[in-house]
Amino acid sequence: MAAEPVAPHLRHFPVLLAEVVAALVKGPEGAFIDCTVGAGGHAAAILAAAGPDATLAGLDADQRALEIARDVLRHFGASVQLVHRNFRHLAQVAVTLGIRQAHGILIDLGLSTMQLAHHGRGFSLHDAQSLDMRFDEDGDGTPASVVVNEWPEEALADVIYRYGEEPAARRIARAIAAHRPITSAAHLAAITAAAAGKRGRIHPATRTLQAIRIEVNQELAVLTEVLPVAVSLLRPGGRLAVISFHSLEDRIVKTYFQAESRDCVCPPGLPVCACGHTAQVRLVGRKAVRPGDVEVRQNAASRSAKLRVVERL
Ligand SMILES: C[S@@+](CC[C@H](N)C(=O)[O-])C[C@H]1O[C@@H](n2cnc3c(N)ncnc32)[C@H](O)[C@@H]1O
């Protein structure tokens, strides 16, 4: 599949780019893994900063994203290997590519601008063509249309509440069940908005669509799975950087990084350590890095980003 040209206004701007490069590139050369290569923006900047002896393996679950990355990264030649794979299979990908120890690993979660803009994927509130939402549209995962149209109302309400933190989840699930079959993301957004009522600055269906996308792609489960694998693939001094876009993701990253940076993870109050846990990483910076005002002005999609970084001991 050849990459379709991407209109400039639909191009994905890599978030916290300078911060990611500064965190991961420590000198000339190195082996890097970009678990969410997307449009290749972070990958290109990492390779440019690390120099001609650096290599990068880029994964993406979305075949269309990979085609764009292939085009963007073509001048790095054989330094780049791109793999159409969900990062939940990172351990197998590393074995296949012969990567034993990486200098830097990046996970930039969520959606790219192209995925949001491309009608026919079901990611956008305005997409009247599709209700799919799978990152891997050729994969065997459950599309959003099945979750929305076939799941019991109770289970749907639980997803919207848990992954969307949506207070009106029960009312929204009732409205969805009453309007089945729902044919597109725009149709789902209209029914959700009518049930939720107008509040705040974000579209009233944003949380519900986010929740269904998280369920469809098992986003929190795959994030929880990949973090220990990524840490295990780092060489001593190697770094893992994760950019998250909502509090559910960030909580998983923060909790894991904090636990893995401690020598003992016993519950408080035990007189002696019973867990035998030893720290695997050190935290690089105590707080998450947020985009500055200038970046948010230039790229509104960056506004909720949080970057956390650890270094392998
Ligand atoms: C925010 S974009 C990454 C943008 C990229 N850093 C850049 O500079 O262009 C996130 C990408 O991660 C991919 N993705 C999300 N979850 C994934 C997963 N579990 N495995 C592989 N790719 C995933 C999406 O398909 C999307 O292309």
Q: Do domains 8-114+219-312 and 144-217 have the same CATH topology?
A: no
Give the pLDDT of residue 7.
Answer: 65
Give 120-155 pLDDT, tens digit per residue. Answer: 999 999 999 999 999 999 888 999 999 999 999 999
**How many other C-beta atoms can be found within 10 angstroms of the C-beta atom of residue 158?**
17
- Residues having CB closer than 6 A to ligand 1 are 12, 14, 36, 38-42, 59-62, 65, 86-88, 108, 110-112, 135, 222
Report CA(271)–ligand 1 centroid distance (Å): 44
CATH classification of 144-217 is 1.10.10.10, yes or no? Answer: no
Mean pLDDT in consecutive groups of 10 residues from the start of the chain, 313 residues: 58 94 95 97 98 97 95 97 98 97 97 90 96 94 97 98 97 98 98 90 94 98 98 98 97 98 91 93 96 96 96 98
Tell me which H or E stretch contains 196.
helix 185-196
The answer to whether the Cα torsion of 235, 226, 3, 119 is positive or negative is negative
Superfamily grouping for domain 8-114+219-312: Vaccinia Virus protein VP39 (3.40.50.150)
Q: Residue whose CA is closest, atom 25 of ligand 1?
A: 62
Is 73 in contact with 82 (CB distance < 8 Å)?
A: yes
Q: Is 131 exposed, middle or buried (0-12, 13-18, 19+ CB in 10 A)?
A: buried
Give the pLDDT of residue 313.
Answer: 98
Domain ranges of the chain: 8-114+219-312, 144-217
Give the pLDDT of residue 10.
Answer: 67
Give the pLDDT of residue 246.
Answer: 95
